[in-house]
Amino acid sequence: MAAISLAAPWILRRAVRTFSLPQPLLHLNPGSCFHGTHRPFTFPTSLRHTASGIRHLIQAVKGNFDDLLKGVGDKNAIEEVKHILEMESMMALEKLADVKAVAQGGYPQAERCRLSVGHPELLTSDPDIVAALSITGNFGFQPCSHGDFLGSILGTGIAREKIGDIILQGEKGAQFLVVPELADYLITSLEKVGNVSVSCTRIPLLALEYEPPRTKSFKTIEASLRVDALASAGFKLSRSKLVNLISNGDVRVNWTTVTKNGTTLRTGDIVSVSGKGRIKIGEINSTRKGKFAVELIQYL
């Protein structure tokens, strides 16, 4: 069975729920922000109708996005809103078709990711839809900022949508993620960052030197696994305060705003509260008295 690979856009992780799923059968482009030529492909017979229907539905939804955003002057704001709406559409599609989605940004904490979609039973390994590059040079006397690196990369003529996270490495330079089809072009085209002459080389994703988040864990005993109960304990807020935050749209589970106090959480869920940070739900065990002993992991 032939694999299907279409370009997928970079999206902000905070705007989409992530899935711990392996290799998707197809990579879909749900919007027009990712410009470029798609490689030729052939759908397996058993999937042609499903894949075609998904693509047509995405195109129809995209048309509605364009109508909705007419009159908005800020182009950056338009693109960010489109990304969010498109990802919400993909989550809705999961309920309509036998597909799952996985976001990959090169490392666990990546904010800019590419989204792949496929049938769950055919997902076998992580999708190879991002490449990692290293920029090295003598930055000891001329340190460069994130903006300096990004500006130089974009100065080669590629669009922002092609670039993922940029990881600064101080005097050593930086590492960054890019769509694989542009890796060779950047290796030959990127010669300077600021006034510093640089070399650009491809590296394995496992060679990315990102700093894992600092965390601390503690346990709480709760009568339920509701978001208002666990978040109240995790952020040390009163239940009423937490309920107000939910009503104001300031509480998110897996990067999706929650509107119901009774939303049930499970191991692995990420809960974030505006201005308060985020926690992860760890191991959950039942107590003899019918309550729940929950491990809460707080990001520092």
Q: pLDDT tens track of the chain, all 300 residues?
A: 333 333 445 655 544 333 322 333 334 433 323 222 222 222 233 333 444 444 444 444 444 555 555 566 666 566 666 556 655 655 565 555 566 666 788 988 888 888 776 666 665 555 578 999 999 999 998 899 999 999 999 999 999 989 999 999 999 999 999 999 999 999 999 999 999 999 999 999 999 998 887 889 999 999 999 999 999 999 999 999 999 999 999 998 887 888 888 999 999 898 999 888 889 999 999 999 999 999 999 988
Same domain, 219 and 143: no
Task: Name which of 22, 12, 253 is nearest 117 in CA terms.
Answer: 22
What CATH number does residue 158 fall under?
3.30.70.330
Q: Among 207, 228, 254, give the residue marking a domain's end.
A: 207
Residue 229, domain member (yes or no): yes
Same domain, 201 and 227: no
Indicate whether this model's pTM tops 0.75.
no
Same domain, 224 and 295: yes
Q: Which residues lie below 8 Å from residue 297, measured CB to CB, with a gap of 6+?
A: 215, 216, 217, 279, 280, 281, 282
Domains: count for the chain: 2
Instruction: List alpha helices for the chain, DSSP H.
Output: 48-68, 75-96, 146-154, 183-189, 227-234, 239-247
Q: Among 207, 241, 270, give the residue marking a domain's end.
A: 207
**Domain residues for 226?**
215-299
- Residue 252's beta-bridge partner residues? 257, 272
Q: Among 207, 225, 245, give the residue marking a domain's end.
A: 207
Residue 12, domain member (yes or no): no
What CATH number does residue 239 fall under?
3.10.290.10
